[in-house]
Amino acid sequence: MYTADGSRYDRADYRAAGASGLKLPALSLGLWHNFGDTTPFDVQTGLVTHAFDRGITHFDLANNYGPPYGAAETNFGRILHDTLRSYRDELIITSKAGYDMWPGPYGDGGSRKYMMASIDQSLTRLGLDYVDVFYSHRRDTSTPLEETMSALADIVHTGKALYVGVSNYNAADTRRAAALLESHGVPLVLHQARYSLLDRHIEHDTPPLLDVLEEVGSGCVVFSPLAQGLLTDRYLDGVPEGSRAEHSRYFSRDDITAERIDAVRALREIAHARGQSIAQLALAWVLRDERVTSAIIGASRTEQIDDNLAALDRRMFTPEESAAIDTILQRLDAEKARG
């Protein structure tokens, strides 16, 4: 029988989700990869319990995480039932709906029909009465935003989620979503956005998403802080056989440009001077902004969780380090602009 490590909270770091009372660990475990039916169940259980033993209380899912779709929720539900049931009130379990899940016109998007069916299906797979946070996974422009936000508000009012958020929304739609939810008496607690050293759009969009989140009192949970593994040593000497760049529809060889590799090499030099890996520097960098509530990491081995958590030991950057990083990123931006 599993018993959680009694020291799991001794060194853990938690941040407020915007203006709410909810707190998340600085690093969260995402179940996008490695929690479908292609990964042995005992490996999945080991990853989840190890993360929890290290103070990671937030586990991030979506209805279509797998493979196949739904498998990550089903498998995590088994872990909850078999291993973590007595710790449920120490966990933040989040899920989302917005991308394709089942055939036909009602298995995708942001309609009330899809959102209400999705939360019920997710709860069934997870074996739970409620999730802690439920997100609209993307802005569906074919559905009025009023309809999607009304559905999210009703999910809170019926007790199926404690909080709600949005993901992959631009700044203008995020501001509107927050106002619509507020009209229903429900705050927009979190926005989940892509963010890394190689993708800084949430800083530079007009208006910057991070500024809008601060304005509406929402926290930011960032995904892909390691740019799908590009901000590691993995791709510095080419594309390894069987790597994500060979089979993912979200990351390909085309993303691994010479300019990006040069930037990663330069960033690695700064990381090594700080006593960090490039991945640890990348995580520390996204967390330097207090508006970032948490960064989602993935893992296939427990050692990866430990390595990523070590980034929290050194998160501050000297003015010289910040300036050097900015120079590298500005050069990369200039090269990209030149085409």
H or E segment to which residue 210 belongs: helix 209-216
14-239+279-315 under CATH 3.20.20.100, yes or no: yes
pLDDT at 253: 59
Residue 223 β-bridge partners: 194
pLDDT at 246: 47
pTM for the whole structure? 0.95
pLDDT at 140: 98
Are residues 156 and 136 in contact, defined by beta-carbon separation less than 8 angstroms?
A: no
The pLDDT tens digits of the residues spanning 48-91 come to: 999 999 999 999 999 999 999 999 999 999 999 999 999 999 99
Q: b/e per residue, 298-323, with b = 16+ CB within 10 A?
A: bbeebebbebbbbbbeebebeeebee
The list of the chain residues with pLDDT below 70 reads 237-253, 339
Domain boundaries, the chain: 14-239+279-315
pLDDT at 252: 59
pLDDT above 70: percentage of residues in the chain: 95
Q: 20: which 2 tokens?
A: 């709410």
pLDDT at 335: 84
Q: 17: which 2 tokens?
A: 């989700």
